[in-house]
């Protein structure tokens, strides 16, 4: 279960990073 939460958090961080890059561009 902790692993699953870690996966979700990692995915969320990745998504935010993508959005940030799109905003910059």
Q: pLDDT value at position 1?
A: 62
Q: pLDDT value at position 13?
A: 92
Q: pLDDT value at position 6?
A: 82
Output the tens digit of pLDDT for each of the chain's 25 residues.
677 788 888 899 999 999 988 888 7
Please tell me the chain's helix, strand, coil percentages from 3-state DSSP, rounded to the nearest 5: 90, 0, 10
pTM over 0.75: no
> For residue 18, what is the enclosing H or E element?
helix 2-24
């Amino acid at each position: 279960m902790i692993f699953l939460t870690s996966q979700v958090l990692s995915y969320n961080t990745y998504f935010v990073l993508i959005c940030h890059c799109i905003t910059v561009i």
